[in-house]
A and B are shown apart, each in its own frame.
Chain A
């Protein structure tokens, strides 16, 4: 029985090969997107799961407003280093606590023997407990004692191979240079750890133990990450309550020592906080950005829609085809087939098509993965995935779901045919499911039209962002990843082609905001402060609105004058040039004079509004140590100048390579994420529109076939070809028009929500709506007409001859 059903299924596929191909290809495309998404989700879900021990590892998060893009409080990964001791002493549930460097993205130079130094992003300094908390597999060395001695280092296997060409390097030395002027420290290699087979949220190339992390500074705050290993399974809520209480007590007592009032610090709605989150959740809850689960929500929606469109095609074609199969159902029923048996037969046929689609999509996934990986800067694989079994299970589930979704309704329609009706040879009545099919066509086109409107609006918004005046000149500007050093600056300032060399704490790509409360005309304002060198504002190329920028001509500029940006100026009112404001701090009062107002310039993506900002020059222009050294060139062809700067650099700092980015690249980097979304939606829209049209084409072909007799009779009565084409078009165009009608408000709401996410955005445009409707109608008419014309020009005698 199964074999013969299988045979019949194949024969039917071959017979209706065009429709089968449309079904299978459509489903395959839908499935491909879905599988890629599945792989991505699996990958993101696999962070920090490479050892069962990690179930008991927690990351400590302190709530504070340092290093934040908007001076608001966040639960941050970087904590006051004193938190570690606090946790170790007060929370008995945690067996080990370790402190480890946040790398701040600056990188360290590592040198093996006499070879060239290599820049590595993630050489982290940790205390001796690191490998007691993190269960890395040691290929060489002892996890318990590896970091006991100061100046010891544990390398990842790949790091060792990169540096030495082998991993047999236990006991050898490497020289670590942590910043430009660092003399360098020789470190003894005390361990080699294997690379885990799943991704880690705390990336490292090497973990070193300099001794710095063993102590906490008294007079200032050292920020680092803190992780803890629980002795056994713990009640996170209870531990967090205890952490919070301990932390508040600690803050209070430290304020008493520093003679600051607790209520003063937290009066502006800010609150102290400390909590532990399981390591497994760290990747899914980044401190500032939206988490990946939120990021991919639109993509999930898109893939589901795409899959839905292909399933709709499947259902529509299958029910349309059902007329062909009606007689077979009738015959089988009088031959003694139960409904259930027929049901199984038709589901089997859907399953075969789904299976083909699945195989095709797996091939497509294999084909597309390399592209996908480069595009999303990720490393996914299908067959070599360590989660292959899980993925296959998921695919089996998807396969069953799709088979049921696509096959169940047609199967029900088919098996419900009454033999007495279909065997008389009149299956006009047997042509069921018209209403559902129409509904599905509407749904399909709704999705397509909404996507088309979306790409229209998104294209407009992205080109608006790409062309928007940033407020500074990003051409011929580079940012060297280093601090302002008068000696080095003097060297490169003399180079021909260099116009300005300056430093600032605020430039796109590396922003360090400092909140400050000022008092102006007896009113308090919250401002953001940025420290710059004299030349920073001209180096950026910002525009003066009123007053002047800093200049060496004015001695007081290094003492107490400030420049405001437009947003800050608007906050304070009119005519503020030459006026003064005060900053109060611990019993003292400082007065600053406003000498100029500059246009706002952007240093974050366009999703964030520009903060009201005060620009100050520091004494020597040197304390703004946030690794920004801006160099503006006065020539378009500045590559040779960069070479010259690098030469100067090498002479001064032979053990530390120079790292720089151009302002243009930084800007493109900022646009990247929204660009990606737009491109992805663009791709999905094209595919879904194409699939919808393919479905429409097949459906209209079926319609034309079914109406062949009606067409013939109409032609005999004198209808022209054009009238016949019109007749066939009309029934579908009503559906497409209806779909458009419903799509407009939905698209409006969705896109409006997307636009709200941008602080700088276009007004809702009307054109994309009009274009989408126009396009969907025109393309539908063309699609249907291709098939309808064939039916219309056929000779009516052919259609009427056989009855």
Chain B
């Protein structure tokens, strides 16, 4: 599904290149649950951003579902977001002015899903996540864990083939974090959604099927669990 070849990312300042990523090559198959680990500054987030096409690599090639997406125009990229990629953020990034229900509905609006189907899909998700009672609340009325659930629900509602999560439990207490990880595992196993997460936590990484260890921009270890 994902193929990275010789990806490099560096910033040149005053003629000195400072590398974030070096010679990163890997393949991620449909249905994998990959955790990217490593110390601060190892390039984990940059790698995830490149995977999510939020950043472009300085060098190397990236193909997503058999298509070369190394450089892609905005329109095509957004089409990919609409149909294939769901994002989950550490800081949840819900839209403050929208209720829970509206936040979840937003990607469907952009995807131009017809009204009736939209409503039923949102209702489905709310039901699955046990949040029907909270659908009219605004994000600031929810706990962090609940907000992250909404964030995941929002990522899932468009039925993506892959979820990219940047430290999804970074701001959560451990009990809530466990709940989120269980959910990821279930989605991965039962629905076959590919999940790539960046995490600091060995415990969280253990939920996945594969761990990429990054150090100073280089993949040091690639472990299948």
* A residues in contact (CB < 8 Å) with B: 1, 4, 7-8, 11-12, 15, 327-328, 330-339, 341, 418-420, 423-425
Contacts and interface: CB of A to CB of B under 8 A. Distances in A.
A423 B154 CA distance: 16
Nearest to A327: B93
22 contacts: A4-B98, A4-B102, A4-B105, A4-B106, A8-B97, A11-B98, A12-B97, A15-B97, A327-B93, A328-B97, A332-B110, A334-B54, A334-B81, A334-B85, A335-B110, A338-B75, A338-B110, A341-B110, A419-B54, A420-B49, A423-B54, A423-B93
Interface string B101-121: 010011101110000000000
Contacts of B158: 336
Contact of B93 (A331, A336, A337, A338): A331
Given A334-B52, A334-B54, 18 more contacts: A1-B110, A4-B106, A7-B102, A8-B98, A11-B97, A12-B97, A327-B93, A328-B96, A331-B93, A334-B85, A336-B78, A337-B78, A338-B75, A341-B110, A418-B54, A420-B49, A423-B89, A424-B45
Report whether over half of chain A's contact residues are helix, strand or loop; otherwise say mixed. helix
Contacts of B91: 423, 425
B38 to A, nearest CB: 17
Contact of B106 (A332, A338, A424): A332
A147 to B, nearest CB: 72
B3 to A, nearest CB: 22
Contacts of A419: 54
A765 B81 CA distance: 66
B106 A335 contact: yes
B110 A336 contact: yes
Interface string B136-173: 00000000000000000010001000000000000000
**Cβ-closest 7 pairs across A and B:** A336-B82, A420-B54, A336-B110, A11-B97, A336-B81, A335-B107, A8-B97
B74 interface: yes
Contacts of B111: 336
B184 interface: no
Contacts of A341: 110
A4, A12, A15, A331: most-surrounded residue (chain B CB, <10 A)? A331
Contacts of B98: 4, 8, 11
Contacts of B49: 420
A180 to B, nearest CB: 78
Which one of A1, A7, A11, A339 has the highest number of Cβ atoms from chain B below 10 Å of its Cβ?
A: A11
A617 B55 CA distance: 98
B62 interface: no
A330 B45 CA distance: 16
B93 A330 contact: yes
Nearest to A341: B110
Contacts of A337: 78, 110
B110 A420 contact: no
A351 B52 CA distance: 34
Nearest to A330: B93
A478 B55 CA distance: 87
A332 B82 contact: no
Given A8-B98, A12-B97, A335 B154 contact: yes
B95 interface: yes
A336 B107 contact: yes
Contacts of A338: 74-75, 78, 110
B16 to A, nearest CB: 22
Interface in B4-29: none
A328 to B, nearest CB: 5
Contacts of B33: none
Contacts of B78: 333, 336-338
A327 B91 CA distance: 11
Contacts of A335: 81-82, 87, 106-107, 110, 154
A649 to B, nearest CB: 77
Nearest to B109: A1
Nearest to B89: A423
Contacts of A327: 93
A396 B200 CA distance: 57
Nearest to A419: B54
B97 A334 contact: no
Given A4-B109, A425-B91, A420 B97 contact: no
Contacts of B105: 4
A334 B78 CA distance: 7
A14 to B, nearest CB: 9
Contacts of A424: 45
Nearest to B55: A420
A424 B44 CA distance: 13
Nearest to A333: B78
A423 B96 CA distance: 14
A15 B138 CA distance: 13
Contacts of A333: 78, 81
Contacts of B87: 334-335
Nearest to A2: B109
B93 to A, nearest CB: 5
B95 A328 contact: yes
A332 B95 contact: yes
Q: Which of B82, B109, B158 has the most CB of A within 10 A?
A: B109
A541 B102 CA distance: 84
A328 B55 CA distance: 18
Nearest to A329: B95
A328 B87 CA distance: 14
Nearest to A421: B54
A423 B95 CA distance: 12
A335 B107 CA distance: 5
Nearest to A335: B107
A339 B82 CA distance: 14
A328 B91 CA distance: 13
Nearest to B154: A335
A425 B92 CA distance: 11
Interface in B34-68: 45, 49, 52, 54-55
Contacts of A423: 54, 89, 91, 93
A421 to B, nearest CB: 9
Of listed A11, A334, A337, A424, residue having the most chain B CB within 10 A? A334
A8 B79 CA distance: 24
A462 to B, nearest CB: 52
Contacts of B97: 8, 11-12, 15, 328
